[in-house]
């Protein structure tokens, strides 16, 4: 199992409050802490803990936060030969407010992630060539993410694009994307309709297929996940758990999906696995501390039984 992450990293500065503040409001918070963040970093850690050989391509700043990231990657046994360290910009940083209902709001300064270029992909092309699955997300420039998908398809790799943070992809060529993995909100942003649109998920998926992507796996929160192919849709039932913290669950889902596919599992089985891993993630606080090992996931799935695909 070899997974290449087209990465992003941001130091997460986190605080808890009783509720999410509204505009112009000041609340007293507590439990300030600094955590590892960034969608690419999260995905790399979770995939590695599930047993994959993970390589990471990305850009960080030459600063304290960047050095902490390098140490994390080494601790998690992740190949960072594709990592560029720059003095031009600081390492990305995110501010997160969490409430006692397991909700959160996040603001991110991309920092050095904005400098991630096609040249960085070319310089680390060998890592893509050696991978089974290449996974990208959009905390880096869109052109760079799509270029990575193009390079990966040149070598016949399975490509996954997680379109988060959400952007309008309606005019983009996603023909090098095998699997697009939005949540329900991101899917609607991607096709340029209001997030409260009454269009069904199947109708949204059919609009997304016009971009050229081959399959869509849409995460549906406590309703599980939807698998969409042109003219065909099915739903994978969720694992019911008591949610402690949902932060990082989407990254967890994508990492486990990529890992399962790299292991040779079929798409339905891979989504079942990703549902289980992301549910288990929600039983603990934060991102990296909530990511479990393959053995823990296996025990969780055994305990909760196989879920239906309808």
Cα 157 to Cα 151: distance, rounded to the nearest angstrom: 9
Cα 159 to Cα 176: distance, rounded to the nearest angstrom: 7
CA angle centred on 121, ends 120 and 123, rounded to 5°: 65
Sign of dihedral through CA atoms 190, 193, 197, 198?
negative
Cα 12 to Cα 42: distance, rounded to the nearest angstrom: 11
Between the CA of residue 134 and those of 14, 66, 137, what are the distances in Å? 29, 23, 10
Spacing of C-alpha 125 from chain mean position: 21
Continuous segment of H or E residues that includes residue 136: strand 133-137
Cα 223 to Cα 71: distance, rounded to the nearest angstrom: 37
- Catalytic residue numbers, as ranges: 251
**What region, left, alpha or beta, does residue 222 occupy, with left being phi > 0 and alpha being psi -120 to 50 degrees?**
alpha
Cβ–Cβ < 8 Å for 148, 6 = yes
């Amino acid at each position: 199992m070899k997974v290449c992450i087209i990465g992003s990293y941001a130091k997460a500065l986190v605080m808890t409050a009783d509720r999410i503040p509204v505009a112009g409001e000041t609340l007293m918070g507590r439990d300030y802490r600094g955590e590892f963040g960034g969608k690419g970093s999260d995905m790399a850690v979770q995939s590695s803990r599930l047993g994959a050989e993970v390589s990471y391509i990305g850009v960080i700043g030459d600063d304290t936060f960047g050095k902490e990231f390098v140490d994390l990657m080494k601790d998690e046994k992740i190949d960072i030969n594709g990592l560029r360290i720059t003095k031009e910009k600081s390492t990305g940083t995110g501010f997160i407010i969490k409430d006692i209902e397991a909700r959160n709001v996040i603001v991110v300064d991309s920092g050095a992630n904005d400098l991630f270029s096609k040249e960085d992909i070319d310089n680390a092309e060998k890592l893509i060539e050696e991978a089974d699955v290449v996974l990208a997300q959009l905390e880096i420039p869109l052109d760079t993410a799509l270029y990575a998908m193009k390079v990966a398809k040149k070598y016949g790799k399975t490509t996954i694009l997680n379109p988060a943070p959400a952007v309008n992809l309606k005019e983009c060529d996603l023909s090098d994307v095998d699997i697009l993995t939005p949540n329900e909100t991101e899917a609607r942003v991607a096709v340029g309709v209001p997030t409260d649109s009454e269009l069904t998920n199947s109708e949204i998926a059919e609009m997304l297929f016009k971009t050229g992507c081959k399959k869509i796996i849409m995460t549906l929160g406590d309703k599980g996940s939807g698998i969409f192919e042109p003219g065909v849709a099915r739903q994978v039932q969720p694992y019911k758990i008591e949610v402690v913290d949902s932060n990082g669950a989407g990254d967890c889902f994508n990492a486990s999906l990529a890992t399962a596919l790299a292991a040779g599992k079929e798409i339905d089985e891979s989504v079942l696995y990703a549902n289980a891993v992301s549910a288990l993630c929600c039983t603990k606080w934060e991102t990296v501390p909530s990511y479990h090992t393959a053995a823990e996931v296996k025990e969780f799935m055994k305990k909760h039984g196989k879920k239906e695909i309808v």
